[in-house]
Amino acid sequence: MRINHFPTTVAAAHAVADRIAERLKAKPNLVLGLATGVTMEPVYERLVARHRAGEVSFAGASSFNLDEYVGLPPSDPRSYRATMDSQLFDLVDIDKTRTFVPDGLAADPAAFARRYEAMIREAGGIDLQLLGIGRNGHIGFNEPGADFAARTRVVDLEASTLEANSAFFGGATPPTQAMTMGIGTILDSREIIVLATGAVKRDAVRAALTGPITLDCPATALRNHPNVGWWLDAESGADVVG
């Protein structure tokens, strides 16, 4: 486990973007695992800027997003598919037919989830998984109590997650279920980057890095992975050394 400290949110996010760009240069057909949320916005902004400057290409890459709200069509601007399109995919040279996001409208979610897992395997597995962390320690939408071996499936979201994400819904409650990669799916990635920024993440970061490994804090599962880097700003990382 490597812990990288940065003085500001922007510095941490930009360093993550630069790491992704480096990986894309080394392996143009990189398989990316991607996350959404406030934390990732400056990462994608930096990647778009570097793409526009001719410094990074996604032409050979493919991507699998962690999660999607159940019940939101891709055309809904609050869906994670629409968010990824507007923040990254439509602004860079990635082949959109190789960008995958769980289907929040799947008629048979269990069958879709099995297919999503199979597609990741057929792509050769995820080379680089980008993760945020929830205030309750969730990764993807694996809420406290999730099995560390869980695969892609539909889950219920906790009240704290709904509250944190209500900002994207004009203060209204978001859909209460999501389809998410499981912790087992995430741990299969060859490299994991966790980006956590802001004082609101400090408790979750401390629990994830220094507390007991427990289902109560899903991010503690990452301590079982051989290649995880944490990228923290001064506020999120104030309680951890490394």
- What are the residues binding ligand F6R (CB under 6 A)? 35-39, 66-67, 132, 134, 138-141
Catalytic residue among 138, 165, 188, 233: 138
Whether 224 sits among the annotated catalytic residues: the reply is no
Element (H or E) spanning 19, and its range? Answer: helix 9-26
Maximum Cα–Cα distance for the chain, whole Å?
Answer: 46
Instruction: Quote the least distance from Cβ 156 to ligand F6R, whole Å.
Output: 15
Own/partner pairs, 164-171, CB within 8 angstroms, 24+ separation:
164/134, 164/135, 168/78, 169/78
How far apart CA 16 and CA 46 sit, in angstroms, is 9
Amino acid type, 203:
D
Judging by DSSP bridges, how do beta strands 99-100 and 228-233 pair with one another? unpaired
How far apart CA 163 and CA 34 sit, in angstroms, is 22
Whether 165 sits among the annotated catalytic residues: the reply is no
Instruction: Quote the least distance from Cβ 122 to ligand F6R, whole Å.
Output: 22
Catalytic residue among 65, 136, 142, 165: 136
Q: Which is nearer to ligand F6R, 45 or 60 (CB)?
A: 45
Whether 136 sits among the annotated catalytic residues: the reply is yes
Instruction: Quote the least distance from Cβ 86 to ligand F6R, whole Å.
Output: 15
Contact 194, 140 (CB under 8 A): no
Amino acid type, 62:
S
Instruction: Quote the least distance from Cβ 54 to ligand F6R, whole Å.
Output: 29
**Which residue number has the CB closest to ligand F6R?**
132
Q: Rg of the chain's alpha carbons, rounded to an integer?
A: 16
Q: Which is nearer to ligand F6R, 104 or 140 (CB)?
A: 140
CA distance to 17, 26, 60, per residue, from 22 (Å): 9, 6, 14
Q: Which is nearer to ligand F6R, 56 or 139 (CB)?
A: 139
Instruction: Quote the least distance from Cβ 161 to ligand F6R, whole Å.
Output: 7
Q: Which is nearer to ligand F6R, 13 or 30 (CB)?
A: 13
Whether 225 sits among the annotated catalytic residues: the reply is no
Q: Which is nearer to ligand F6R, 37 or 237 (CB)?
A: 37
Contact 172, 166 (CB under 8 A): yes
State the catalytic residues: 67, 136, 138, 143
